[in-house]
Chains A and B, each alone.
Chain A
Amino acid sequence: MMHAFRAKDIDIYKPDGHDENFLAVHLVCLKCKNFWHTALNECYLCGEINYGVGVCSKKHHTSLTTSQKSDETNQKNCKYCNKIPAKKCINDDCPTNKDTVISKIISYSRKEQESGVFEGQLKSSMKISMNYCLKCGHRENKYLQFLVFVEDYDPRTSHDIICKHRKPDHVVIFKNRLPKSIVYAYFEGSHDPANWQPNWTELSQTITQLFS
């Protein structure tokens, strides 16, 4: 069960003891609940994010994740002009591309292909962990967390079980073993157990619904 959450990039925390539950946590936008990725960098001066794309001196964009490396340079060269692309900010209006003083500072004593905003950790000081939500652009974030309890579904006992979990961050995931498959439904502790009816889906859908 915990690995199904990991497959959705949700962090899992196991209890240090014998408790039969676990914590599922992800940092999300406070306004729209879209996932927040602290490992994703944005440009320090304009806020554009790193797309994993290289830009050569002739402003051609090259994929840095799929293009093949050149035999000679062992780098991912631009296919149009064969130059080595830098991990620049893709915003043409960004001061790192437009302003001569800033460009001079970031390219000082570095090769052209290493003068990008999103170069490796120690090479660039023009990047910062994301500050704006990817979906709505707000700056506030919070940990969305659920204490997850997994139970085998039995219609005779399910109501008693959910009544025990009427706490804001508790979630009970019911597992229903059908002859050829397993389906899942969940109850959120912040909801009223009187109106609860199981909505059976696959586990991945259940997790997506929970964190949306």
Chain B
Amino acid sequence: MNEVFPINVFEDVKPQEFSKHNKKGVTEDFVTENFKELGWKCFRPLDDSGVDLVVRREVCPKNHTRWNDVIDGKCGKCGEDLITITRFVQIKAREEEDDDRSIGITLSSKDFRGDPRHVFLIYADAKTDFFVIPIYRYLRIFKENEIAQKFFGVPAFRRGNHRVYFKETVNNVPHYASKDQKRYCFGPNGSGDLTKFMNDVGLEIMSDPEIENDFVSFCEKTSKIKFDILHDYSPGRELDFLLQLKSVDKKIKEKESLWKKKKLEYSKAKKGSKKRTLAYKVKNKASQEKKKAEQSKKIKKEQLLTKYKSHYKKFLEMKSKKIPREIVTMRDENRKKFVNHNEKSSIEKVRENWDTKTKTSLKKSINDFWKLYKGQEQL
């Protein structure tokens, strides 16, 4: 059986020969073939569903099965009957970006499922390395390193255009990595570490049947951590317009131009002259005033950020405290508006026939919408 995972299953073509426009099918094939080599049963989607590959394999329920073991029927170590595990793999294939040797991926809120069997497989195709990260572990890395807010709380994430970069670093080799192994990190000071999810090690983590052994508990934990992370608000650049603080900016610009002027006067003054000594003092004073104005802006900015953050936090806490029944009741109450809200309009009383038609159309629209998203009663 294989000694290495992944292996180059396509010996006739190099991954670098594809562009982002034609590599999608190739990437999925590459990943699928690698799983098949190890005896996993692979299933490919009929349509685009967000999950690119479903893989199944029999493993020992006591986690005695290693990633490249060939087993059949019973565990060779403990004799337990094998169980079938299923993993739903979302493949993110990216070229390594040459400038800073990093891999960038974009995930949106709909990519985060509450099922702990959902796995992100990030594939740096230029290096043929797989990062295999179960969703629960992925979320935990962010949460435990207190960097979730920066990645999931910002408005750009909810717009679906926030990119996360995993950077390659060679310093601070952790206990689980060999000295020549490179690390892939993200976040401030590389606090989030993905190295331990690379290749066969990641595969081993993904195959752990602990999820199947305690499935409901893992579902609850994953959903909770997902909800908490997605609702930990950070303003990002959303509040920039409110923080532009025009008057302060104007003051800073004035101080800056004065400092530049004085600096020029000082540089032009003859060395050793009284004029130069005086210009030196004036220049320094202008510099201090400029710094003071900048500092004042910084403080004001921090105060405003704190104020808006707490403003959002108040509403998000209210949302998170809602019990299931409250959410259902709120939605039911709001839906009733579709039946009678527009009746309040005085125009409707005048144009009765026309408005009845509108009302019917609105009702039909809602019902059509709910045919698509089943779950509530038709109006």
Tell me how far the C-beta of B368 lies from the nearest C-beta in chain A, rounded to whole angstroms: 6
Closest B residue, CB atoms, query A168: B84
Whether a CB of chain B sits under 8 angstroms from the CB of A69 is no
Interface residues on B, range: 35 or more
Tell me how far the C-beta of B152 lies from the nearest C-beta in chain A, rounded to whole angstroms: 10
Q: Are B54 and A6 within 8 A (Cβ)? A: no
Question: Secondary structure of the B side of the interface?
Answer: helix
Whether a CB of chain B sits under 8 angstroms from the CB of A20 is no
Contact pick for A129, options B41, B112, B215, B364, CB 8 Å: B112
Q: Are A64 and B365 within 8 A (Cβ)? A: yes
Q: Are B36 and A16 within 8 A (Cβ)? A: yes
Q: Are A35 and B375 within 8 A (Cβ)? A: yes
Q: How far, in angstroms, from A167 to B79 measured CA to CA in the complex?
A: 19
Tell me how far the C-beta of B55 lies from the nearest C-beta in chain A, rounded to whole angstroms: 10
Whether a CB of chain B sits under 8 angstroms from the CB of A91 is yes
User: Which residues of A have CB within 8 Å of B342?
Assistant: 60-61, 80
Closest B residue, CB atoms, query A2: B46
Whether a CB of chain A sits under 8 angstroms from the CB of B47 is yes
Whether a CB of chain A sits under 8 angstroms from the CB of B353 is no
Q: How far, in angstroms, from A141 to B220 measured CA to CA in the complex?
A: 8
Whether a CB of chain A sits under 8 angstroms from the CB of B316 is yes
Closest B residue, CB atoms, query A109: B241
Q: Are A51 and B338 within 8 A (Cβ)? A: yes
Question: Secondary structure of the A side of the interface?
Answer: loop
User: Which residues of B have CB within 8 Å of A38?
Assistant: 50, 110-111, 113
Tell me how far the C-beta of A80 lies from the nearest C-beta in chain B, rounded to whole angstroms: 5
Q: Are A139 and B114 within 8 A (Cβ)? A: yes
Instruction: Return the CB mask of A81-93 against B: 1 if under 8 Å, else 0.
Output: 1000000001100
Contact pick for B45, options A11, A66, A91, A143, CB 8 Å: A11
Contact pick for B334, options A48, A66, A137, CB 8 Å: A48
Closest B residue, CB atoms, query A170: B84
Closest A residue, CB atoms, query B364: A66
Tell me how far the C-beta of A69 lies from the nearest C-beta in chain B, rounded to whole angstroms: 14
Which of A118-126, A158-166, A194-202 interfaces with chain B?
Answer: A118-126
Q: Are A139 and B374 within 8 A (Cβ)? A: no
Contact pick for A11, options B49, B215, B242, B361, CB 8 Å: B49
Closest A residue, CB atoms, query B45: A13
Q: How far, in angstroms, from A12 to B368 measured CA to CA in the complex?
A: 24
Q: A12-B46, A30-B114, A141-B219 are in contact. Are A134 and B376 (CB under 8 A)?
A: yes
Q: A34-B374, A47-B330 are in contact. Are A23 and B311 (CB under 8 A)?
A: no
Q: Are B366 and A53 within 8 A (Cβ)? A: yes
User: Which residues of A have CB within 8 Å of B155?
Assistant: 125
Of the listed residues A16, A53, A62, A65, the one surrounded by the most CB atoms of chain B closer than 10 A to its CB is A16
User: Which residues of A have CB within 8 Å of B362?
Assistant: 53, 61-63, 66
Closest A residue, CB atoms, query B29: A16
Closest B residue, CB atoms, query A3: B46
Contact pick for A52, options B43, B115, B327, B365, CB 8 Å: B365
A contact residues vs B (CB 8 Å cutoff): 2, 6, 9, 11-17, 19, 22-23, 25, 27, 30, 34-35, 37-40, 44-49, 51-53, 58-67, 79-81, 90-91, 95, 99, 101-102, 104-105, 108-109, 121-129, 131-143, 145, 167, 169
5 new A-B contacts at CB < 8 Å, known A60-B345, A126-B158, A143-B117: A16-B32, A38-B111, A52-B365, A125-B156, A139-B114
